[in-house]
Structure 1
Amino acid sequence: MTGVEAAGRSVPGGEGGGSSTDLIVSGGGSLVATDVLLAEAVTLRALQAAAGGWLERLERIRLLDSEPVPAPQWSGSDVGMSVFAAERAIHEVGRRSGALADALVCAAEGYGRAERSAEFLGGLGGVWLGYLVGRVGPFLALAAVPALTAGAVGWFLGSLLTGSRPGAAPEAAARWLADNPRALTNPILPAALRVLVSSVDDAAAGVSALPFPVSFALGDQGAGLLGVTTSAAGVLALARPLGLLRETGVTVGRVGRPAPARPPTGFAELAARIPAATAGGAQVRVERYGPAGSAAWVVYLGGTAEWSPGVTAEPWDLSSNVAAVAEEGAGSYRAVMAAMREAGVRPADPVVQVGHSQGGLVASQVAASGEFNTVLIATFGAPNGQVEVPAGLAAVAVEHADDIVPALGGIGARAEDRLIVRREVFATEPVPVDRGLPAHALTAYRETARLMDASPEPRLREFRSALGTVLGGEPGTVSRWRGVRAPGD
């Protein structure tokens, strides 16, 4: 997959500025254009090349005339006149198609430079603001203690006088969110959250009085030694003495019997086979294609099923979420590695990794570990921005612009071979009020996957073609696996 960045912008007209079917595809390089526009540029380049080929053919036709007539003596029936007219027409086709392609690339490069500059400046601003908060935060906190105390007392007395319950604040917040469903699906929120998450380590550096140039050099904008990973590790260090976010041993077992399966042909089928995040259900689906000794595999990983910070029997829990971001051997990661070995995946076998949410983060980490031969990876709504995929690996990360979960990965590494596909799900559609974070729902990502299959974007087509090459067309078998945590010590 080539290092080209493509991005689609909404058509004016709806809330949020456009259609919820617009795809944004970004990756290495500096081009930014809609997936359709990028396909048009490729078509124009192909037309330009074809025009050049026809000009060469016409030149060979001209040479076949053993007794050419000089141009001043041409008549309407002369071969030279016909060849000359054809040359002019084809040359104009090549010139115009090349000019249009150049114009598209020029505009795309300009937008790309502006977008990259805005991203860099936003990250730099977040670094400085985080560091500044860390430096002055303790002093502001001490100064605010009297005001906060007076405010708390006043709020308590006021609630008694008005008859409202002191604990009604969470209910009021829930009602406000129900009345303002766009609050958590506004694309500005994930963008700001991505910068905020990446700035936590800078705030910690400010608290520790580490000089700002040193903090900047070590952080996400520099060497990457500090960042989202170290911030998550800090959260674990604070929570585990309290008995929270603790990791335990994990065992893995097969759920049900193996069943026949056919190879997936595109993104829609990949997304459709990701296990749903249900308590007590299978979290890993493994498909095998080909005979023993030359098998190819697809591994599907589901999202978080348990949000309790305490130790439960579920490895796909909040503890694994934080531990995975911290790269500290999350229970879900260990369960996936064990399930793949139990299913028969050998280190040299080609593997396609697919995952949603936490499953996408774990899929990226399995690919980055190098313990298995991951050849393709597709993730949906995963906070995996900080995970560096191996060079040359065809990777597609799907992130909704109105989904805050991928932003929890911060401003991380972006490999040249990784394509990032974005869509604003609720750009023009009403936001559901009966469920939280609707843009993060697996059903929403499955719809985006269907749009990706219909997209003319060349690299998305290339991924689907590679999927068919790796898996072949013969039926295979599917097995399902469930990991269970050992009781906490």
Structure 2
Amino acid sequence: MIDTRTTGGPQLKIDDRADTSGDELQRICGHIGDLSVEGTRADFDLATLLTQVPSPLTAINLDAARTVYHYQSALVLIELEATVLAVRAAALAYRQAEKGISDTFGGLLDYFGYVTGRVIAISLPALIPIGIAVGAPIYLGLKLLDVTGLDDVVAKHFGIDLAQTKAAAKEAFVALVFENSDVSGAIIEHVLPGIVVGFMGLPPTVLATDGDHALWPHDSSSMTAWVLGGANMFGLLLPSDVEVWKAKGITAPDDEPPRDIEDLYRREADRHRGVDSGQVRIEEITDADGTSRYIVYIPATSDWSPEPGENTTDLTTNVQAMAGNDTVMAEMVRQAIADANIGADSEVMLVGYSQGGIVAGSLAADPAFLNDVNVTALFTVGAPISDFPVDEGIDVLSIEHEQDLVPDLDGNENPAADHWSTITVDYDPEQLRQAPNLKGKTDAELDELFSSAGAAHSSAAYSASIGLMLAGGHAGLNRFTAKNSGFFSGDLKETRDYQGKRRRT
């Protein structure tokens, strides 16, 4: 069974269990209190009092027993009320401790980054000459070896292939970053903004600033905005308008609605695979009474160049979205939905992998978009969307590999909310080789799929993980498909595909 961890969704957490127990105890206390009141009222019933007149001694003994009963009942009620208070206090303390630990750890990383930034700023006059003195000869020496062909001599006589060594070092670094993605995410969220603030000489208190502004770096989003601003100065990662039109699909339309999460993800992955610029696909699904529901598939990155071009699924869309800005892909989705004449009351599911998930998450947190589009479900894979305040009326399922850096680029974990389930999968290439959808692949083909340092983010790896979870009857997948069954049943009435290109003025 593939190793997974699920957070959020309709499941009881420790503090929720405590609150539920407190509510139940409070109900019992109220019931006991009502019984005590009824008993006291019955003590003064006229018929009861008249029966005591012929037997005064019995009446005295009965009154004594009543007194003891009411006294003991009061003690029990007080103890139960005290227990209710203790349980509720424990739940509150748990929440505060959990929040406090997170805030304290984040604050320590902020301060570490700040101190590092100050050290760099103070040491810069000495670091620059040292860097030039050490780095320049190394760089010139390597260039000389390459130009003169002496690198081949080095490889032949000393067994050191410089190009191969460089590639291996790069691969090892990427593997280190991906395998420790949680640490990498914390560095992006806390340490890097701290370094910049410290280097600039700003007071460390600015790192504790809340809000979405980017006046100075204080989290991953504002840090991305600064990177974006710097790139824009050199003509890179520039925003643009977009032209959208209905097009022939990258793949042929399916005949039926997706049968499960694996099928849903396969259709999503096909929206960008093997093309320069991905497409948005909208499937209209109707049930027996004619009600239409729509699945909107948003493509992932297909172009990693920061330079201006026509592609909509490029690095610019990634960085713009992570900085909290509107993107050409989000506009493509809006125009596609408008062209498909999706009614304001029709249920819509947004689906996205990687960049597609970022765009889907941003739209699911956009009040203006949600005023026009009735998004009821969101499915993301390998996407950093924790910074987006997704509307609580939307049922969210996110799937992430533990060793995938990309979902950690926003520096936080997804909220463990009732409407938001996140399944974190331990990326194990040996186990993924057994996935049902990879049967028939040769060992060489499997090696190629899972050998790279960043393979944990590949669509093939996620497809294999989802296949294994589905085969194992994973409760999180079953819950999502059951709750959103209208998207997985009925008839596939129509499929529309949309292409776009950047338009620069």
Q: Any unmatched runs of 5+ in structure 1? A: 1-18, 33-40, 42-110
1:133 CA drift (Å): 2.5
Structure 1 letter corresponding to 2:320:
A
| Superposed CA offset, 1:192-224 (max 9, x none) | 11111112333333334333234224379xxx9
Instruction: Decide which moves more: 203-212 or 362-371.
Output: 203-212
Higher normalized helix content (fraction of residues): 2
Identify which of 165, 184, 190 aligns with 1:193: 184
- What is the rounded CA distance, in whole Å, between the counterparts of 2:174 and 2:313 in structure 1? 27
| Superposed CA offset, 1:244-296 (max 9, x none) | 00111111122227956422232111111112343345421110112899421
1:320 CA drift (Å): 0.6
2:294 partner SS: strand
Structure 2 letter corresponding to 1:404:
L
Q: 2:227 aligns to what? A: 235
User: Normalised by the size of structure 1, how large is the TM-score?
Assistant: 0.69
1:377 partner SS: strand
Q: How does 1:85-234 map to 2 (within 5 A)?
A: 122-156=105-139, 159=142, 163-164=150-151, 172-177=165-170, 182-183=175-176, 185-186=178-179, 189-199=180-190, 200-218=192-210, 226-234=218-226
Q: How does 1:340-355 map to 2 (within 5 A)?
A: 340-355=337-352
Answering whether residue 303 of structure 2 is matched by residue 311 of structure 1, we say no
- What is the rounded CA distance, in whole Å, between the counterparts of 2:236 and 2:297 in structure 1? 28
Answering whether residue 480 of structure 2 is matched by residue 463 of structure 1, we say yes
- Asked whether the equivalents of residues 481 and 488 of structure 2 are also in contact (C-alpha less than 8 Å), the reply is no
Answering whether residue 391 of structure 2 is matched by residue 390 of structure 1, we say yes
- Asked whether the equivalents of residues 346 and 374 of structure 2 are also in contact (C-alpha less than 8 Å), the reply is yes
Q: 1:480 aligns to what? A: 497
- What is the rounded CA distance, in whole Å, between the counterparts of 2:304 and 2:315 in structure 1? 5
Answering whether residue 475 of structure 2 is matched by residue 442 of structure 1, we say no
1:218 partner SS: coil
1:412 CA drift (Å): 5.8
1:475 partner SS: strand
User: Normalised by the size of structure 2, how large is the TM-score?
Assistant: 0.67
Percent identity, aligned pairs only, is 25
- What is the rounded CA distance, in whole Å, between the counterparts of 1:365 and 1:300 in structure 2? 14
Structure 2 letter corresponding to 1:304:
T
Q: How does 1:403-414 map to 2 (within 5 A)?
A: 403-411=404-412, 414=415
- In the comparison of the two structures, how many residue pairs are matched? 389
1:31 CA drift (Å): 4.5
Instruction: Decide which moves more: 193-202 or 177-186.
Output: 177-186
- What is the rounded CA distance, in whole Å, between the counterparts of 2:99 and 2:8 in structure 1? 11
Structure 2 letter corresponding to 1:138:
A
Identify which of 260, 269, 276 aligns with 1:266: 260
- What is the rounded CA distance, in whole Å, between the counterparts of 1:326 and 1:182 in structure 2? 26
1:422 partner SS: strand
- What is the rounded CA distance, in whole Å, between the counterparts of 2:351 and 2:319 in structure 1? 20
- Asked whether the equivalents of residues 209 and 218 of structure 2 are also in contact (C-alpha less than 8 Å), the reply is no
Q: How does 1:355-434 map to 2 (within 5 A)?
A: 355-370=352-367, 371=369, 372-411=373-412, 414=415, 416=417, 417-426=419-428, 428=430, 432=448
Change (3 A) 1:475 1:154: closer
Structure of greater Rg: 2
1:437 CA drift (Å): 1.6
| Superposed CA offset, 1:214-246 (max 9, x none) | 4224379xxx99422211111121111211001
- What is the rounded CA distance, in whole Å, between the counterparts of 1:210 and 1:293 in structure 2? 61
- Asked whether the equivalents of residues 261 and 477 of structure 1 are also in contact (C-alpha less than 8 Å), the reply is no
1:164 CA drift (Å): 4.1
Structure 1 letter corresponding to 2:307:
G
Q: How does 1:25-104 map to 2 (within 5 A)?
A: 25-27=6-8, 31=13
1:378 CA drift (Å): 0.9
- What is the rounded CA distance, in whole Å, between the counterparts of 2:208 and 2:162 in structure 1? 38
- What is the rounded CA distance, in whole Å, between the counterparts of 1:211 and 1:25 in structure 2? 39
Change (3 A) 1:170 1:164: closer
Change (3 A) 1:271 1:259: closer
Q: 1:335 aligns to what? A: 332
Q: 1:283 aligns to what? A: 279
- Asked whether the equivalents of residues 356 and 381 of structure 1 are also in contact (C-alpha less than 8 Å), the reply is yes
Structure 2 letter corresponding to 1:312:
G
| Superposed CA offset, 1:157-212 (max 9, x none) | 6555994499x9775331335579854542xx211111111123333333343332
Change (3 A) 1:122 1:265: farther
Change (3 A) 1:267 1:175: same
Change (3 A) 1:294 1:169: farther
Structure 1 letter corresponding to 2:497:
R
2:248 partner SS: strand
Q: Any unmatched runs of 5+ in structure 2? A: 18-93, 155-160, 434-446
1:113 CA drift (Å): 11
1:361 CA drift (Å): 0.5
Structure 1 letter corresponding to 2:468:
L
1:442 CA drift (Å): 0.9
